[in-house]
A = this chain, B = another copy of it.
């Protein structure tokens, strides 16, 4: 009863109301102000809170905004009323007036792949930390209509910004063509060789990987690349070639897969009987897995006869047979960073020009000394 019973400037208005959309079924004393969440048959609004606290809705609003200039007595009544009615702000209403929303759209595809799903994971985390949620639309690439439709859908839901993750060229094109009327950010590996800030994967990772192979005596390498339409695949292929050249080694070719183990297997199966390489550098771990199996089925021992490496360091890679030497990539951080960039753009700030993400060489048992050519004894040293 701290609410002075008599004072109710709003009661007049309440009487008028006559047709409340939501019938206050639960309210016993008709016309009275709801005292608890249960008396209200619906979520409480700031006006409900205001009525209970005996203040204007604007005062409640101010409190919610963190405004300091409210007298302690008033403030206390507001606080109590908010609690009693279990008030929760309605973000829809808020974004209608402010034109701002706490949602980010995220376009993605191949969500079952390790990279994209990790990126999404990082992105949702970063979004949540900033108070946003991610509206995810995952596309099956291929059907242009479907892409257009999905984009169209995103434009309706008013979003603070849109993120495209895991970029391949089709996605990028569709994304560019779409008319979002909000900030956008195209995440995923950029085109390192067109950028001033090549990723660490290119600058550090691949050189380290190739150096590792060179140290082991490998001279002739084969690369299994991802699909040419993916910038990540192109980056990796070019990074491979650059590093090979830098070490004075020889690339005996680049074959393309589709990131899957199946495609890695195929790539190896289709090779001539007498491969001219001693090491295979796959563009990701899955293709490396497929390559591993194909090579083994041909009677080659890993790493005694051929060394194999991957990229990504997926959790399973440590348990392949043999465990895979690979390059670690921090996808979660990638997703996180993408969201941060987007948020910065939304706030019209310059994004922190963070360093590119670390890429670490993880040496396991799938790489070993190159077999000695001509000599009777192929390397038998284990590990």
Contacts and interface: CB of A to CB of B under 8 A. Distances in A.
Interface string A123-148: 01100100101111110100000000
A93 B98 CA distance: 12
A9 B65 contact: yes
Contacts of A133: 105, 135-137, 153-154, 157
Nearest to A22: B99
A249 interface: no
A91 B261 contact: no
Interface centre among A101, A133, A292 (most CB of B within 10 A): A133
A262 B315 contact: yes
A172 interface: no
Interface residues of A, number: 74
A89 interface: yes
Interface in A244-298: 260-262, 264-265, 286, 289-290, 292-293, 296
Given A121-B112, A155-B88, A319 B296 contact: no
Contacts of A89: 3, 156
A10 B96 contact: no
Contacts of A344: none
A114 B116 CA distance: 12
Contacts of A320: 289, 293, 320-321
Contacts of A2: 66
Given A7-B65, A105-B133, 10 more contacts: A2-B66, A5-B131, A21-B99, A103-B157, A111-B120, A112-B114, A125-B140, A133-B154, A262-B318, A286-B319
Interface of A: 1-5, 7, 9-10, 21, 43, 62, 64-69, 88-93, 95-96, 99, 101-103, 105, 111-112, 114, 117-118, 120-121, 124-125, 128, 131, 133-138, 140, 150, 153-158, 181, 260-262, 264-265, 286, 289-290, 292-293, 296, 315-316, 318-321, 323
The 9 closest A-B pairs by CB, nearest first: A4-B66, A261-B319, A321-B321, A117-B117, A111-B121, A133-B135, A9-B67, A124-B138, A290-B319
